[in-house]
């Protein structure tokens, strides 16, 4: 590994070290482990969205639906089907991914605002199903009466149910697998093609690239990982309600990505961390925290034209 390669890897190493040490340094500066877990989970959701937004150039405003399907998937599996955390996550992910795969062909021809709006439309339909189908989902009161369960490997068992730190590392492992998969995909020829589509769709089309098909696959991958994040989110809260599917939740994901920087791989994670920590901290200090969070968004737009990480990036490269 040469020096320049090390230089390139430096940000990655830095991020992983921070994430690995989180349960130790975060409480030391006054945070708490669940805050870190939440940042990582929502970070995964924002990064999944950014797979589509930042690397394919397609804006979805309906990712909360698949986030929520993942969440209900895991909750209902544990509650009604089988008391296993892992099976729950798999079912949640499968449900979210399947829904995205089915809806995909209907919507991939649309672009820009139209794509964003049609994803809202489908997302809201899922929201209203969760909201109004009281007997199955618990409606507005949410799905309770279940909790995440210890991981049981037969020979050993890890108590992620009561030990917040163990759960954090469990989430981090799932996060690493998901993020690693996305990074690998982006570096593959398939990922390069996505970036080509983002840069100039028409040219990609002239080159004979089946653009719609690529967008469909990118959409499904993105929704798959956002449903993983949703499943983790439900496990973190031991609870799930329809708000997780509402369009404003999708808006939060978009904001996290834009806040951190859509054009960088880690940007959305940083955006999510800022979003989560800022809200958590400010809302303990003042009941007018919304003004400060809103002001922060405005300031980012005015002074950080490429998101928070965009500026750091530019400073590093210049």
Q: Coil, strand or helix: which one is 170?
A: helix
Q: Coil, strand or helix: which one is 157?
A: strand
Query: Judged by CB under 8 A, which stretch of 13-21, 44-52, 129-137, 209-217 contacts another protein?
Result: 129-137
Q: Coil, strand or helix: which one is 61?
A: coil
Angle at 67 between CA 66 and CA 73, to 5 degrees: 80
Q: Coil, strand or helix: which one is 235?
A: helix
Q: Is 274 in the site for another protein (CB under 8 A)?
A: no
Q: Which of residues 152-211 bind another protein (CB under 8 A)?
A: 162, 164
DSSP label at residue 143 = B
Tell me how many residues contact another protein (CB under 8 A). 76
Q: Coil, strand or helix: which one is 185?
A: helix
Task: Name residues whose C-beta falls within 8 Å of residue 175's C-beta, 6 or more positions apart in sequence.
Answer: 19, 40, 41, 43, 44, 232
| Tokens encoding 135 | 């007997």
Choice between 27 and 150, CB closer to another protein:
27
Among 117, 166, 176, 209, binds another protein (CB under 8 A): 117
Q: How far is the CB of 191 from another protein (least distance, A)?
A: 21
Q: How far is the CB of 307 from another protein (least distance, A)?
A: 9
Query: Judged by CB under 8 A, which stretch of 91-99, 183-191, 204-212, 290-298 contacts another protein?
Result: 290-298
Among 80, 291, 314, 316, binds another protein (CB under 8 A): 291
**Residues 53-92, mask of contacts with another protein (x by CB under 8 A):** ------x---------------------------------
- The candidate with the shortest Cα–Cα distance to 50, out of 200, 249, 222, 275, is 222
Among 170, 247, 253, 275, binds another protein (CB under 8 A): 247
DSSP label at residue 62 = -
| Tokens encoding 248 | 């404003």
Hunting for tokens 């007018």 — which residue is that?
A: 288
Among 8, 109, 192, 203, binds another protein (CB under 8 A): 109
Q: How far is the CB of 217 from another protein (least distance, A)?
A: 20
Choice between 91 and 118, CB closer to another protein:
118
Q: Is the backbone of residue 96 left (phi > 0), alpha (psi -120 to 50) or beta? A: alpha
Work out the widest C-alpha separation in the chain, in whole angstroms.
Answer: 60
Query: Judged by CB under 8 A, which stretch of 11-19, 78-86, 139-147, 213-221 contacts another protein?
Result: 139-147
283 contacts 289 by C-beta, under 8 angstroms: yes
| Tokens encoding 67 | 């986030």
Among 10, 12, 136, 140, binds another protein (CB under 8 A): 140
Residue 209 burial (C-beta neighbours within 10 Å; 0-12, 13-18, 19+): middle
Among 11, 144, 163, 201, binds another protein (CB under 8 A): 144
Among 24, 25, 128, 184, binds another protein (CB under 8 A): 128
Q: How far is the CB of 305 from another protein (least distance, A)?
A: 7
Q: Which of residues 18-37 bind another protein (CB under 8 A)?
A: 27, 29-35
Choice between 16 and 131, CB closer to another protein:
131
């Amino acid at each position: 590994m040469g020096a320049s390669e090390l230089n390139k890897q430096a940000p990655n190493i830095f991020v992983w070290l921070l994430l690995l040490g989180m349960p130790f340094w975060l409480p030391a500066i006054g945070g708490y482990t669940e805050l870190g877990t939440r940042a990582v989970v929502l970070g995964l959701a924002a990064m999944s969205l950014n797979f589509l937004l930042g690397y394919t150039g397609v804006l979805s405003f309906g990712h909360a639906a698949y986030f929520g399907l993942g969440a209900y998937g895991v909750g209902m599996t544990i509650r009604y089907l089988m008391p296993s955390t892992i099976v729950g996550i798999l079912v949640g992910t499968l449900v979210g991914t399947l829904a995205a795969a089915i809806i995909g062909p209907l919507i991939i021809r649309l672009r820009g605002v139209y794509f964003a709006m049609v994803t809202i439309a489908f997302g809201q339909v899922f929201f209203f199903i969760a909201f109004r189908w009281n007997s199955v989902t618990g409606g507005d009161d949410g799905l309770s009466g279940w909790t995440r369960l210890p991981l049981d490997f037969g020979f050993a068992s890890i108590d992620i149910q009561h030990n917040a730190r163990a759960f954090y590392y469990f989430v981090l492992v799932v996060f690493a697998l998901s993020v690693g998969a996305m990074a690998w995909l982006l570096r593959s020829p398939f990922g390069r093609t996505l970036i080509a589509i983002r840069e100039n769709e028409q040219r990609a089309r002239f080159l004979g690239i089946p653009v719609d098909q690529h967008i469909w696959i990118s959409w499904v991958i993105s929704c798959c990982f956002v449903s993983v994040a949703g499943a983790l989110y439900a496990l973190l809260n031991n609870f799930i309600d329809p708000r997780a599917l509402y369009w404003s939740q999708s808006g939060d994901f978009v904001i996290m990505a834009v806040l951190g920087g859509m054009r960088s791989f880690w940007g959305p994670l940083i955006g999510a961390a800022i979003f989560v920590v800022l809200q958590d901290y400010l809302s303990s200090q003042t009941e007018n925290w919304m003004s400060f969070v809103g002001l922060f968004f405005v300031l980012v737009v005015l002074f950080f034209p490429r998101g928070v990480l965009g500026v750091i990036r530019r400073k590093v490269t210049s």
